[in-house]
Structure 1
Amino acid sequence: MFSWLARLAMACWRPVRRYARMNKDDGDDSSLDDALLWCRDLDKHSYGEFSFAVVQANEVLEDHSQVETGRDATFVGVYDGHGGPEASRFICDHLFLHLMRIARENGTISEDILRSAFSATEDGFLTLVRSLVRSRSNKIVAEQLTRDHNASAEEVRQELRSLHPDDSHIVVMKHGVWRIKGIIQVSRSIGDAYLKRPEFSLDPSFPRFHLPEPIRRPVLTAEPSIYTRVLRPNDKFLIFASDGLWEHMTTQEAAEIVYNNPREGIARRLKRALSEAARKREMRYDDLKRVEKGVRRFFS
């Protein structure tokens, strides 16, 4: 089976050919008197010939199907629709293309590749359904695309502990906040050399950036976290912000502000986070604005 599938991956590069709605006036069989029957009596595939017929019973043709022919392989799909043609039509448009894309990326076809093609098709269809629901309800649904590299996150603390099993102080709670070595919250950065190289960790000329004992291995890394996502038709906008915003506002709250207000000056509207920061300190935003620079960082 796998050898046949591997040949399919190399062979089926021809444009998608679909036969679910074939006209009977293309010379196949003009003698048919059934207006709800579409067929192709005989055509060629890689190892011989095939015949194809579709009969419509419902008011709308819910079932879809396709045949993809290549030099050494043939792909056949029969998609039994129910409750409407939307899913079966979507599968017809995307499943084979996903299969070819993933096979091309991996250089072969296997059971896992087939599962991945099904999963990609399913994800795409659910995204389409979600976008339709959103457009009808006039609501926005926020999606967090990146993960915070901050010791406040349990998964980050667990990662650090697993990398430094011999260091019981790799993460320390200080002033109600989890910090790496009791100093810094972020776990990835460019710089902070004293937390990466022993020769910098004991330099007394920089008392602020100084450790009481040498580090055995880097506790921070400059390794980036890379996330790739193909933009979809229902994507509306992206919000880029530092943790100063997200400490006081959820992704959903920020998305609703952007979505429900005019675009001009929209970034300034996110200053609502400052009002929330003031509220947490039991003060008004006007009072917060009067706090001097340098001191204000303890509030917002």
Structure 2
Amino acid sequence: MLRSICFRPLERCLGIRNDGLLWHMDLKPHPSGDFSIAVMQANSSLEDQSQVYTSPSAIYIGVYDGHGGPEASRFVNRHLFPYLHKFTKEHGGLSVDVIKKAFNAIEEDFTRLVKRSLPIRPQIVSVGSCCLVGAISDGELYVANLGDSRAVLGSKCSDGKRNSVVAERLSTDHNVSCEKVRREVEAQHPDDSLIVINCRGVWRIKGIIQVSRSIGDVYLKKPDFNRDPLFLQFGNPVPLKRPLLTAEPSIVTRKLRPQDLFLIFASDGLWEHLSDEAAVDIVYKYPRAGIAKRLVGAAIHEAAKKREVRYKDIRKIEKGGRRHFHDDITVIVIYLDHDHRKSPKHDQGSVGITSAPVDIFSYNSDEIEENPVDKIFPNEESRHILAVS
């Protein structure tokens, strides 16, 4: 309770708000602009995790959409940025190889955790997470992803039209609902004609999972786990000749241009209700403060319309039951101010990490884990680090 008394006034000063199953931060500066975050919980335990790390030389953005449970997304949320930080220092800068190395280290570490946890929690072999990471360093943008969270860029139109913006998808949806991804998976398993199955109108790998790339989901990657007696007590084995899923990220790099206005990083809970163009249009037309919350609200309105219920009725539904109407939704909007050095509001020397709460419902009930920020970047001056977790 003491933490609640001390911390909540600080939240109000920073524009951080919560309401039932919603948490959001209206606006906060980073060295080259502002950013806004919002998270809406639908599951009994929040399976989405997210964070933004800022320093004078770089900004990292992470959105991790878990499935089967929250363990994998929470693990990535705690350990991925430290690996990026470590490998960037070792290799003298951020690069595609550094990002791949960080993803690989996370996959290996989580697999070891699964092995250790198997005797007490065999279900963890079926827990996984999509992983979407953005990074901006020296004017270069990197977007890496596994699964179907998505990064979209909003830019001014180049055709001379006033007050118009164009949406550009920067990530790849690794979801077998996309024909291209189905063909990719089928090509990797030429001896298995049933590798992708249509189950009641939904394409799934082996009738189990839609995403083809993830962190975790160890039982779909490692044959040994399918034969483990502990796992056999929990679930049905899936015969594996080779891994069904991979943890190899798709990575896009590009130089940021003066016409690039903002980036939207979001879990698929947003994109299943809003198109890239609709989301970009909202960000472009409305004020910055609270923009991530506005996108979440727009998605919930669309979910309500699809189910022919009112928006306010969905808001009354408790966690768990809310999942019948929409998924957990995480949105991070990063504004790109190319003339930011002219503005005194951006502290070029600041270092910080902002994380959404581990669980929105528990957070609003004052049942919250302490933030591990001091352990994430132990070499940084902790007095400069603001963390919400």
Question: Which residue of the partner structure matches residue 298 of structure 1?
Answer: 324
2:203 counterpart SS class = strand
Question: Which residue of the partner structure matches residue 170 of structure 1?
Answer: 195
Q: Is contact 2:156–2:165 with CA below 8 Å preserved after alignment?
A: no
Q: Which has the higher strand share?
A: 2
Question: Which residue of the partner structure matches residue 286 of structure 1?
Answer: 312
1:240 counterpart SS class = strand
1:267 aligns with 2:292: yes
Give the deviation of 1:299 after TM superposition: 1.4
Cα 1:157–1:221, aligned 2, differ >3 Å: closer, same or farther? same
Cα 1:200–1:258, aligned 2, differ >3 Å: closer, same or farther? same
TM-score by length of 1: 0.53
Q: Which has the higher contact order (CA 8 A, sep 6+)?
A: 2
Q: Give the AA of the match of 1:157.
A: R
Q: Give the AA of the match of 1:226.
A: I
Question: Aligned match of 2:277 in 249, 252, 275?
Answer: 252
Q: How many Å separate the matches in 1 of 2:269 and 2:165?
A: 23
Q: Deviations over 1:166-199 (max 9, x none)?
A: 1122111123211111111111111111000111
Give the deviation of 1:158 after TM superposition: 0.4
Q: How many Å separate the matches in 2 of 1:134 and 1:257?
A: 20
**Residue correspondence of structure 1 range 1-300 to structure 2 within 5 A:** 131=156, 133=158, 136-203=161-228, 205-206=230-231, 210-271=235-296, 272-300=298-326
Question: Which residue of the partner structure matches residue 32 of structure 1?
Answer: none
1:237 counterpart SS class = strand
Give the deviation of 1:205 after TM superposition: 3.1
Q: Is contact 2:157–2:164 with CA below 8 Å preserved after alignment?
A: no
1:297 counterpart SS class = helix
Q: Is contact 1:151–1:180 with CA below 8 Å preserved after alignment?
A: yes
1:184 counterpart SS class = coil
Cα 1:185–1:223, aligned 2, differ >3 Å: closer, same or farther? same
Q: How many Å separate the matches in 1 of 2:233 and 2:209?
A: 12
Q: Deviations over 1:34-76 (max 9, x none)?
A: xxxxxxxxxxxxxxxxxxxxxxxxxxxxxxxxxxxxxxxxxxx
Give the deviation of 1:295 after TM superposition: 2.2
Cα 1:199–1:133, aligned 2, differ >3 Å: closer, same or farther? closer
Give the deviation of 1:294 after TM superposition: 1.4
Q: Give the AA of the match of 2:249.
A: P
Give the deviation of 1:296 after TM superposition: 1.6
Consecutive unaligned residues in structure 2, runs of 5 or more: 1-154, 327-389
Which structure has the larger Rg?
1
Question: RMSD in angstroms over aligned alpha carbons?
Answer: 2.0
Cα 1:202–1:220, aligned 2, differ >3 Å: closer, same or farther? same
Give the deviation of 1:202 after TM superposition: 3.6
Superposition misfits of 4+ residues, deviation over 6 angstroms: none
Give the deviation of 1:131 after TM superposition: 4.8
Q: How many Å separate the matches in 1 of 2:181 and 2:157?
A: 36
1:141 counterpart SS class = strand
Give the deviation of 1:165 after TM superposition: 1.3
Cα 1:132–1:175, aligned 2, differ >3 Å: closer, same or farther? closer
Cα 1:162–1:132, aligned 2, differ >3 Å: closer, same or farther? closer
Give the deviation of 1:222 after TM superposition: 0.6
